[in-house]
Amino acid sequence: MNSVLATMKRNFISQIRAYPIGFFMGNITTCFFIVMGSFFVYSIVFEKNVSADFIAYSNTSDYMSYVILGSLIYMFVVRTFLNVSRSFITEMREGTIDSLLIAPLNHIGYLCGNMLEQIITTTMEVFVALIISLPFGLKFQSVNITSALVCIIISLLSFFGMSVILCGVMVYLRDTYISQNTVFAIINLLCGIAFPIQYLPKWAQNISNLIPVTYSLKIMRNSVLSGMSIFNQRQDFIILLLQGVCYCIIGILLLKIIIKKVPERQFI
């Protein structure tokens, strides 16, 4: 627990000293532009009409709430990936990896510390983004809070697993930019951030269904926009949980290899 809290505190201090406002504003702005872009397309191009297909696929006719919720979840995904996936490669670049790995460190605890700091920061960002999004038409028509909270917890588990896997890829390739942006682009395109995945070709939908973000979005929208309970969404919850556990197991196994490889990658 020491390494979790110590790493979280270290990150908070570093963030505040390095980017007092910039990073926070950057994330809010990204969310704002996605929402604003969707608003203009929805209002001007489609004159606030959605097709019957959209309603059937998404269980709602409220496109703006649909897309705003998608953007807010996407913010969580991006920040988790930025914090957790880049943690070891950032330590390598800053020259602190040896002092970290020479300590009897709980590596999972260290990554959880990075994640915890991100969750707290992103929650604040999401809260601000929610307020910004209200004038664009975000409506909480029928919210099932329990279902939404459980969805967030399971989603964070799966995002963590995915991030650790990406962390391994980044250390192997010694790259952050291409790796993370490729993943962001895939998630943005395939997971249903701005439109239901049923609009995608079948093969792309098969890929979407392997990414936990797809189920996170589906459950969150059903919980917040349609008020669906955990029981009514039990199949999606089980899939999300299984995906989360699988990604975490793969991530933790990969972490053992990463820890061995990180100091060597500095020489090669």
Partner 1 sequence: MITVEGLKKNYKINVKKGIFKREQQINEAVKGIDMQIKPGEIVGLLGLNGAGKTTTIKMLSTLIEPDGGKGDIDGMDLIKNAFEIKKIINMIAGGERMIYWRLTAKENLEYFGKLYNLPKKLLKNRIDELLSFVGLTEKMNVPVEQYSKGMKQRLQIARGLINDPKYIFMDEPTLGLDAPIAREVRKYTKKLARENGKGILLTSHYMNEIEELCDYVYIIDKGRKVMEGSPRDVISIAAKNTNKYIIRLESFSDKLKNNLDDFIKSVSSEYKIDNFDNAYDIEISSNKDIQSELITLLSANAKVLSFKVQEPNLEDAIIKLLEVS
Catalog residues that contact partner 1 under the rule CB under 8 A: 2-3, 5-7, 9-10, 13-14, 17-18, 94-96, 98-105, 260, 263-264, 267-268
CB of 94 to partner 1, least distance (A): 7
SS3 letters across the chain: CHHHHHHHHHHHHHHHHHCCCHHHHHHHHHHHHHHHHHHHHHHHHCCCCCCHHHHHHHCCCCHHHHHHHHHHHHHHHHHHHHHHHCHHHHHHHHCCHHHHHCCCCCHHHHHHHHHHHHHHHHHHHHHHHHHHHHHHCCCCCCCCHHHHHHHHHHHHHHHHHHHHHHHHHHHHHCCCHHHHHHHHHHHHHHCCCCCCHHHCCHHHHHHHCCCHHHHHHHHHHHHHHCCCCCHHHHHHHHHHHHHHHHHHHHHHHHHHHHHHHHHHHCCC
Query: Please, which residue, 5 or 41, has the CB nearer to partner 1?
Result: 5
CB of 4 to partner 1, least distance (A): 10
CB of 262 to partner 1, least distance (A): 9
Query: Please, which residue, 45 or 102, has the CB nearer to partner 1?
Result: 102
Query: Please, which residue, 106 or 226, has the CB nearer to partner 1?
Result: 106
Query: Please, which residue, 99 or 235, has the CB nearer to partner 1?
Result: 99
Tokens of 102: 């020479």
Query: Please, which residue, 5 or 238, has the CB nearer to partner 1?
Result: 5
Query: Please, which residue, 14 or 142, has the CB nearer to partner 1?
Result: 14
CB of 163 to partner 1, least distance (A): 21
CB of 2 to partner 1, least distance (A): 5
CB of 214 to partner 1, least distance (A): 33
